[in-house]
Amino acid sequence: MKTVLVIDDDRVFRSTVCRILADKGWNVLEADGGDRGLEIALEHRPAVVVSDLLMPHGNGYKVIRSIRETGGAFGKTRIIVTTASPYGTDRDTALAAGADGYLVKPLIASELFHLLDNFSSGAETGKPAGAEDGDIRSATTLVKFWGVRGSVPTPGPGTVHFGGNTSCVEVRSDDQIIVLDAGTGIRPLGGALAAESNGKPIQLTLLLTHTHWDHIQGFPFFAPAYNPKNTVRVFAYEGARKGLEATLSSQMESPYFPISLHQMPGNIAIQELKAMSFNIGSVQIEAAFANHPGICVGYRLVTRHGSIVYMPDNELFQRLKEQGTPRSVENFPEAQSFAKHQDQKLIDFMKGADILILDSQYDEAEYLKRIGWGHSCLDDSVALAVSAGVKQLYLFHHDPDHDDARISKFEVRARELVSLLGGTTRVEAAREGASVELPMPMV
């Protein structure tokens, strides 16, 4: 039985919280002040501490800081603040000190249970928290494109067919909603989720490949993050210069945006990923580093219905080495074997995928002028997909200068290339609003 410690100087509130937690099967401890609470916490090492902020004999901030400073496993104890203070600054301070959740009194029991459910499904394993595996087993896995453009949004009459929003793809598998990147396509996705939920809490996981603008810029406009009933978990790898949370919050600082990241009312849990393989519910996730400026990854999602590889930003090593740098193949033959090895790792990562969503920003002529920018040309992307034996390739991260007619030509050219290479990969250009289901129909 797991233990929770409730710290609050309001006896009536404290005993109410203790009772509802005991009814849910928790072993409950209680304290009427922060100092006494810390003594009990050190002795019993509870899994979760639920603490008020404003108390005599040790306030809640002190409780949070003391636990976090302890280090070790106990330093990672989950801490939920329950407070009468609705002020954004108090919320910011508590979360910055290390609280995992912030609930404003009067306490809504379902919100507390919602947080506890999230903790229990992932906290103890070190894996990202998610809904319980296999709660709901869907017949198919859905992949839907909400933003397919690279670099910058491109609305206008020339892009109405393929769409002008930047990178965002929704994956639904069993009971999981997984969102790949938060380009401006996440704004209409948020509206659709809010309408679909009809007031019920939404839980979802946002997996970011990296924090370039075209992959995070839509997040401040993501409606589910503004509803305190909802839980939005944001996962990505640490950036080259700053931590994930600092990078995401800096795009919402006051010179750029009216609301800070921590003032968004939803339960937003930001977690830097360490392992390259983990689970979100029943979906197994594998990550691989992309060849792209800064820290950038692609994800492979292995579902019960098939696998999806999402690699929106990538440039092939071999091409870069051959044509892009002074350390070219003629001068350094070993550069070629290194580059081949790197590209082979990518092919292995994509091997046999049912769906590959891949950076195909340029054609060959454009690429030769933009070597080293971190993006691929169509010919390289098709060759990669065919080498990996991918069933369905979606050309992705369309260049802002490419209108619908140009992207349609990319599709035609890509299909020609597949047959020239003797492959069987089907190709389409990713289109905003389009969706596909796994398992793929037989052809």
Which residues form the interface with Zn ion (CB under 5 A)?
150, 212, 214, 313
Between 172 and 215, whose beta carbon lies closer to Zn ion?
A: 215
Q: Which is nearer to Zn ion, 292 or 319 (CB)?
A: 292
* Nearest residue relative to Zn ion (C-beta): 212
Shortest Å distance, C-beta 117 to Zn ion: 34
* Shorter beta-carbon distance to Zn ion: residue 215 or 229: 215
Query: CB of 407: closest distance to Zn ion in angstroms?
Result: 16
Contact 227, 266 (CB under 8 A): yes
Phi/psi for 223 (5° steps) reads -55, -45
Q: Report how far apart, in Å, the C-alpha atoms of 89 and of each of 67, 86, 172 are.
A: 21, 9, 35
Q: Concatenated DSSP letters for 64-132? A: HHHHHHH-TTGGG-EEEEEES---HHHHHHHHHHT-SEEEESSPPHHHHHHHHHHHHHHTTTTSPP-SP
63 or 290: CB nearest Zn ion: 290
Closest separation between CB of residue 216 and Zn ion, Å? 10
284, amino acid identity = Q
CB atoms within 10 A of CB 198: 6
Helices (H) and strands (E) in the chain, counts: 13, 19
Nearer to Zn ion, 212 or 319 (CB): 212
User: Residue 142 belongs to what H/E stretch?
Assistant: strand 141-147
Q: Smallest distance, Å, CB 99 to Zn ion?
A: 32
195: how many CB neighbours lie within 10 A of its CB? 9
- Give the shortest CB-183-to-Zn ion separation in angstroms: 8
Q: Is the dihedral of CA 92, 95, 101, 106 positive or negative?
A: negative
Nearer residue to Zn ion within complex by CB, 245 or 313: 313
Three-state DSSP class for residue 307: strand
Nearest-approach distance from CB 349 to Zn ion, in angstroms? 18
